């Protein structure tokens, strides 16, 4: 039977008069190629979410069209193709709003501080692109693991101080494109110490002493990042969230700062 003669249930009228904010496909895995400040190009795999709004009068959306838009860009995505997708979805699905989100692991080669042993460290990255009419909104998020050492523990203890691994999520809107590596380094420089993959004993000594010399509460961590993000010439909005996976408590410590930067 020809496709034109098949019943289009999604386009039938719905009488409940409830519009849907977002409807689409979620957790689609797809290859991604992204520019890398250190090595020029990096290949990874993104988990993709795509959605549009649905007016109250329509029963459903056409899910296959989301995948058609995704696959129309070939077997590998780039940042440019991601940016184009929301408007393509709006056109294909007759929508007023569209949302595309890509989550992927991003790897950097890091060198141990003393021995210079090389190892790969992975970071989480999220690209979000939203379209509403002619308006476009881009948000980049980096998820960066760090070390924090407790200032209070250091001040009151005769031997040592407790420390822990933390996770920072830094989201930014930007005036011009910004390197993922720049955002990662902004976060790492704000903690007690950055993390490494390969550490020999001289490196472990150096990292431990660095953290001891730079104690930060979770409050210090988000404030340190906020100061640097607020003074960065390319960033016009940021949201920084930090979680410390406490080593001597049965709970985590958590802090968030969100600010608009400048007049943009």
Place of tokens 């949201």: 239
Q: Are residues 54 and 103 in the same domain?
A: yes
pLDDT tens profile 150-171:
999 999 999 999 999 999 999 9
Give the domain range for residue 89: 15-109
Domain boundary among 74, 109, 144: 109
Q: Are residues 101 and 117 in the same domain?
A: no
Q: Are residues 203 and 218 in the same domain?
A: yes
Of 53-57, 63-67, 186-190, 233-237, which gets the smallest average pLDDT? 53-57
Domain-embedded: residue 260: yes
Phi, psi at 87, each rounded to 5°: -70, -35
From the list 104, 84, 122, 83, the residue with the least C-alpha distance to 30 is 104
Identify whether the C-beta of residue 97 lies closer than 8 Å to the C-beta of residue 52: yes
Domain-embedded: residue 242: yes
Domain-embedded: residue 8: no
3-state SS assignment for residue 12: coil
Identify whether the C-beta of residue 151 lies closer than 8 Å to the C-beta of residue 215: yes
Q: Are residues 132 and 79 in the same domain?
A: no
Q: Are residues 71 and 156 in the same domain?
A: no
3-state SS assignment for residue 63: helix
CATH of the domain at 43: 3.10.270.10
Strands 135-149, 163-174: pairing is antiparallel
CA–CA separation, 228 and 232 (whole Å) = 6
Q: Count the domains in the chain.
A: 2
Q: Are residues 73 and 145 in the same domain?
A: no
pLDDT band at 175 (very low <50, low <70, confident <90, very high): very high
Phi, psi at 114, each rounded to 5°: -110, -55
pLDDT score of 2 more than 60 = no
CA–CA separation, 157 and 162 (whole Å) = 9
Domain-embedded: residue 7: no
Domain-embedded: residue 2: no
Q: Are residues 172 and 60 in the same domain?
A: no
Place of tokens 């940042």: 79
CA–CA separation, 212 and 242 (whole Å) = 19
Of 68-82, 102-116, 209-223, which gets the smallest average pLDDT? 68-82
User: What tokens were used for 218?
Assistant: 């979770």
Q: Are residues 146 and 21 in the same domain?
A: no
pLDDT band at 4 (very low <50, low <70, confident <90, very high): low
Domain-embedded: residue 256: yes
Q: Are residues 78 and 130 in the same domain?
A: no
Per the model's pLDDT, the better-predicted residue between 171 and 12 turns out to be 171
Query: In which element (H, E) is residue 92 found?
Result: helix 79-93
Q: Are residues 242 and 185 in the same domain?
A: yes
Domain boundary among 109, 134, 158: 109
Identify whether the C-beta of residue 79 lies closer than 8 Å to the C-beta of residue 35: yes
Q: Are residues 197 and 81 in the same domain?
A: no
Q: How far apart are the first and last CA of the chain?
A: 54
CA–CA separation, 14 and 59 (whole Å) = 5
From the list 192, 172, 179, 187, the residue with the least C-alpha distance to 235 is 172
Predicted pLDDT of residue 3: 59
User: What tokens were used for 47?
Assistant: 């988990």
Q: Are residues 174 and 258 in the same domain?
A: yes
Show Cβ contacts of residue 154 under 8 Å, excluding neighbours closer than 6 positions: 161, 212, 215
DSSP single-letter state for residue 223: H
CA–CA separation, 106 and 125 (whole Å) = 7
Domain-embedded: residue 89: yes
pTM over 0.85: yes
Domain boundary among 90, 109, 128: 109
Domain-embedded: residue 5: no
Q: Name beta bridge partners: 28.
A: 48
């Amino acid at each position: 039977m020809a496709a034109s003669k098949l019943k289009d249930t999604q386009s039938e009228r719905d009488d409940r008069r409830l519009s849907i904010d977002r409807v689409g496909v979620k957790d689609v895995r797809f290859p991604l190629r992204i520019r890398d400040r250190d090595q020029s190009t990096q290949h990874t795999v993104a988990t993709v979410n795509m959605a549009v709004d649905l007016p109250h009068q329509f029963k459903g959306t056409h899910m296959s069209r989301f995948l058609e838009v995704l696959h129309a860009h070939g077997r590998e995505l780039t940042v440019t193709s991601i940016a184009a997708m929301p408007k393509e979805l709006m056109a294909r699905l007759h929508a007023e709003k569209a949302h595309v989100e890509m989550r992927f692991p991003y790897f950097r080669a890091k060198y141990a501080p003393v021995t210079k042993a090389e190892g790969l460290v992975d970071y989480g990255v999220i690209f979000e692109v939203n379209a509403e009419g002619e308006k476009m909104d881009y948000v980049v998020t980096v998820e960066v693991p760090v070390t924090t050492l407790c200032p209070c523990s250091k001040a009151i203890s005769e031997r040592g101080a407790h420390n822990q691994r933390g996770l920072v999520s830094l989201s930014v809107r930007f005036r011009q494109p910004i390197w993922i590596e720049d955002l990662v380094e902004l976060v790492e420089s704000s903690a007690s110490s950055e993390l490494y993959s390969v550490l020999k004993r001289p490196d472990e000594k150096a990292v431990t002493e660095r953290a001891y010399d730079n104690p930060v509460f979770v409050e210090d961590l988000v404030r340190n990042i906020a100061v640097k993000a607020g003074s960065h010439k390319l960033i016009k909005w940021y949201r920084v969230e930090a979680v410390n996976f406490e080593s001597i408590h049965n709970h985590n410590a958590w802090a968030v700062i969100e600010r608009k930067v400048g007049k943009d």
